[in-house]
Amino acid sequence: QVQLVQSGAEVKKPGASVKVSCKASGYTLNIHGITWVRQAPGQGLEWMAWISAYNGNTNYAQRFRGRVTMTTDTSTSTAYMELRSLRSDDTAVYYCARATSHALDIWGQGTMVTVSS
Amino acid sequence: EIVLTQSPATLSLSPGERATLSCRASQSVAGYLAWYQQKPGQAPRLLIYDASNRATGIPARFSGSGSGTDFTLTISSLEPEDLAVYYCHQRSDWPETFGQGTKVEIK
């Protein structure tokens, strides 16, 4: 079936970087985009960025511009999101989601990233 | 950016009752609005896309309506498993944004 499987939990120190992977199965990655959304503990959903897996076009929320890089590898059907210069308020669950022309219809299970000294 | 304001913050209802959740946009999003359900400890799940279309496998008790700036998600007869936080999401303009969520509690 169509699913997105994300990499496991990470613990990082302030100032470090983290790279989260999102492997697609059951469909061809480059047909749709991938959106990244995060959720801080006890908080709501925050839209971070989108990448077209077809041509690599991207769009970012202003607060993440310059600190986030998204890539896709169609040979392995995997999308990646790297967040740099981590701060304690980056502690959150990070989700990837398939972005069709209508909505975010398939979500990964989430990756917990903890930033702590 | 387009701000989505959801109300109420919390809705406490008994099984079988009708739940009405609101999402208001700071400017028109046409029909480019979706609703998601997030149960405790789970990833969000798509319920409604393009304001009024149920996603695959979503029960008929869930319905969406609205256009422009005012949208509604209705659960016609609440079930115990509908305990969740519900988010609206606009894809009309960059950056995409989410509402802050409405928590549905079951009495």
Q: What is the pLDDT tens value at each position of chain B, 107 positions in all?
A: 999 999 999 999 999 999 999 999 999 999 999 999 999 999 999 999 999 999 999 999 999 999 999 999 999 999 999 999 999 999 999 999 999 999 999 99
Tell me how crowded residue A42 is: count the other CB atoms within 10 A of its CB.
Answer: 5
Chain segment A2-25, per-residue pLDDT in tens? 999 999 999 999 999 999 999 999
Cβ B43–A46 below 8 Å, yes or no? no
Confidence of residue A113 (pLDDT cuts 50, 70, 90): very high
Shortest Cα–Cα distance, B16 to chain A (Å)? 27
CB B15 within 8 A of CB B79: yes
pLDDT at residue A54 is higher than 90: no
pLDDT, residue A22, reads 98
pLDDT at A85: 97
CB of B105 within 8 Å of any CB in chain A? no
Residue B54: φ, ψ to 5°:
-70, 135
Position A30 scores a pLDDT of 87
Express the helix, strand and coil content of chain B in percent, nearest 5 each. Answer: 5, 50, 45
User: How many Å apart are CA B1 and CA A93, to the nearest integer?
Assistant: 23
Q: Could you tell me the pLDDT band of residue A53, with boundaries at 50, 70 and 90?
A: confident
Q: Do A102 and B96 touch (CB under 8 A)?
A: no
Query: Which amino acid is located at A34 in the chain?
Result: I
Q: What is the dihedral of CA A41, B81, A27, B97, to 10 degrees?
A: -40
